[in-house]
Amino acid sequence: MSETELTSLERVETALAVKQADRVPVAPMIAIHAAAIANIPVNDFLFNFDLAQQAARKVFDLYEGLDIITFMPGVGLMYNSPFISTHSRLYFNWEFASNLPPQLREVSLMGPEGYDKIMDEGVISWLKRPQDYDAQEMLATTSKMKKEMKYWLRERQIHTFISATSVTPFDLLCQFRGMRNFFVDLRKQPEKVAETADFLAPGLAALAEFMYSEIKGVKRIFIGGVRGSATFISPQMSAELFFPGLKTMVEYLLRDGFQINLHFDTDWTPMLDLFNEFLPAKKGFLTLQLENTDMQKAKEVCGTNYCLMGNVSSTLQKMGTPQQIEDACIKLINTVGEGGGFILSSGCEVPIDAPFANVKAIIDSAHKHGIYRT
Domain annotation covers residue 176: yes
**Cα–Cα distance for residue pair 142/148, rounded to 1 Å:** 10
Lowest mean pLDDT among 7-11, 36-40, 108-112, 127-131: 127-131
Question: How many C-beta atoms lie closer than 10 Å to residue 4's C-beta?
Answer: 7
Q: Where are the alpha helices (DSSP H) in 256-321?
A: 272-278, 295-302, 314-319
**Beta carbons of 337 and 18 less than 8 angstroms apart:** no
pLDDT band at 195 (very low <50, low <70, confident <90, very high): very high
pLDDT at 305 exceeding the cut of 50: yes
Instruction: Note the helical H segments in 91-189.
Output: 114-121, 135-150, 169-177, 179-188
- When pLDDT is averaged across residues 287-293 and rounded to a whole number, the result is 98
User: Do the Cβ atoms of 45 and 98 come closer than 8 Å?
Assistant: no
For residue 97, what are the CA distances in angstroms to 100, 211, 339? Answer: 5, 27, 44
The pLDDT, as a whole number, for residue 155 is 94
Domain that holds residue 24: 8-31+64-369
Total number of domains constituting the chain: 1
pLDDT, residue 1, reads 44
Q: Is residue 204 part of a domain?
A: yes
Instruction: Determine contact, residues 84/123, Cβ cutoff 8 Å.
Output: yes
Q: What was the pLDDT predicted at 24?
A: 98
pLDDT of 4: 80
CA distance 281 to 246: 14
Coil, helix or strand at residue 167:
strand
**Percent of the chain at pLDDT exceeding 90:** 92
Is 304 within a domain?
A: yes
How far is the C-alpha of 233 from the C-alpha of 301, rounded, in Å? 20
CA distance 225 to 266: 9
CA distance 199 to 185: 17
Q: Is residue 233 in some structural domain?
A: yes
Residue type at 216 in one-letter notation? K
Q: Check whether 141 has a pLDDT greater than 70.
A: yes
Angstrom distance (rounded) from CA 84 to CA 118:
12
- pLDDT per position as a tens digit, 268-286: 999 999 999 999 999 999 9
Cα–Cα distance between 196 and 319 in angstroms, integer? 42
The 3-state DSSP class for residue 166 equals strand
Tens of pLDDT, residue by residue over 202-223, are 999 999 999 999 988 899 999 9
Residue 268 — φ and ψ, nearest 5°?
-105, 10
Q: Average pLDDT over the chain, rounded to whole?
A: 95
281-319: burial string, b at 16+ Cβ within 10 Å, e else: eeebbbbbbbbbbbbebbbebbbebbbbbbbbbbebbee
Question: Of the given ranges (153-162, 249-258, 264-273), which has the lowest mean pLDDT?
Answer: 153-162
The reported pLDDT for the residue numbered 135 is: 85
46 in any annotated domain: no
pLDDT of 193 reads: 98
Residue 98, pLDDT score? 85
Q: How confident is the model at residue 2 (pLDDT cuts 50, 70, 90)?
A: very low
- Whether residue 52 is contained in a domain is answered as no
**Residues sharing a CB contact under 8 Å with residue 289, sequence separation 6 or more, in sequence order:** 29, 261, 262, 263, 264, 309, 310, 345
Residue 152 lies in a domain: yes
Would 36 be classed as within a structural domain? no
The angle that helices 114-121 and 190-215 make with each other, rounded to 10 degrees, is: 40
> Which residues are CB-neighbours of 287 under 8 A, at least 6 positions away?
16, 259, 260, 261, 262, 306, 307, 308, 309, 343
Rounded mean pLDDT, 183-205? 98
Q: What's the pTM?
A: 0.96
DSSP code of 110?
S
SS3 189: coil
Instruction: Give the C-alpha separation, 175 to 154, whole Å.
Output: 38
Provide the CATH number for the domain around residue 204. 3.20.20.210
Q: Which of the residue ranges 133-147, 181-195, 219-233 would you say has the lowest mean pLDDT?
A: 133-147
Longest dimension (CA), the chain: 61
DSSP output for 332-356: HHHHTTTTS-EEEEESSBPPTT--H
**CA–centroid distance for 158 within its chain:** 18
